[in-house]
Amino acid sequence: MGYSGARGGLEAILAAERLVREERDHAPQDRVSSAQIIARFRLAVDRIQGEAGLYDEATAADAFRQAEGDTLEAAHLVRAHRSTLPRLARSVAVDPDEMVVLRRIVPAHRTPDGPQLLGRTTDYTGRMLRREDSDDPDPPQPAPAPVADRTAEQRHPARFSAFLRSLDLLVEHERDDAEPFDVTRRPARPPAPRSAVLASMARAETGALVGIWYRSILGPDGDIHEVTLGEVRHGRLPLRVSHPHTGRPVRIGSFRASEAEAIEDLDGADEDRTRFDIGYGLVFGHNERKAIAMANLDIACRRFGRSGPLEQLLLLTTDGLDSAGFLEHLKLPHYVTFRSMVERKRAVRASGATVRDTEPAGRDCQ
Tens digit of pLDDT for each residue in 317-355? 999 989 998 999 898 888 889 999 999 999 999 998 665
Residue 355's Cα: distance from chain center in Å?
Answer: 45
Same domain, 159 and 254: yes
Task: Give CA angle at 89 (88, 95), nearest 5°.
Answer: 150
Q: Does 110 map to a domain?
A: yes
Angle at which helices 206-217 and 42-52 cross, to 10°: 80
Specify whether 191 is located in the same domain as 278. yes
> Quick check: is 71 in a domain?
yes
Residues 115 and 39 in one domain: no
Q: What is the pLDDT of residue 219?
A: 75
- Single out the residue in 292, 309, 325 at which a domain terminates: 325
Residues 32 and 110 in one domain: no
Closest C-alpha to 108, from 170, 157, 164? 164
- Residue environment code for 160-181, b if the CB has 16+ CB neighbours within 10 A, otherwise e: bbebbeeeeebeeeeeeeeeeb
Beta-bridge partner residues of 250: 241
Residues 111 and 47 in one domain: no
**Burial status of residue 94 (CB atoms within 10 A of its CB: 0-12, 13-18, 19 or more):** middle
Nearest Cα residue to 263 out of 180, 163, 177, 174:
163
If asked whether residues 204 and 77 sit together in one domain, one would say no
Residues 109, 57: one domain?
no
- The CA distance from 26 to 36, in Å, is 18
Q: Which domain holds residue 193?
A: 96-119+151-325
Using CA atoms in the order 82, 83, 86, 91, what is the torsion angle rounded to 10 degrees?
Answer: 60
Nearest-angstrom CA–CA distance, 67 and 21 = 10
* Each residue's pLDDT tens digit, 239-270: 999 998 998 999 999 999 999 999 999 888 88
In this structure, are 277 and 301 located in the same domain?
Answer: yes
* 14 and 73, same domain (yes or no): yes
Residues of the chain with pLDDT under 70: 1-8, 24-30, 134-148, 177, 307, 353-366
Distance, CA of 286 to CA of 49 (rounded, Å) = 10
Cα 161 from Cα 174, distance rounded (Å): 17
- pLDDT recorded at residue 302: 87
Distance of CA 33 to the CA centre of its chain: 25
Q: What total number of domains does the chain contain?
A: 2
Q: Tally the residues of the chain.
A: 366
The rounded distance, in Å, linking the Cα atoms of 299 and 313 is: 15
- The reported pTM is 0.86
Partners of 233 in beta bridges: 104, 259
Query: Residues 168, 71: one domain?
Result: no
Cα 106–Cα 109–Cα 114 angle in degrees, nearest 5: 60
Task: Say yes or no: 114 and 181 in one domain.
Answer: yes
pLDDT value of position 42: 96
Task: Give the C-alpha separation, 318 to 283, whole Å.
Answer: 15
Same domain, residue pair 68 and 214:
no
Domain presence at residue 107:
yes
Residue 330 lies in a domain: no
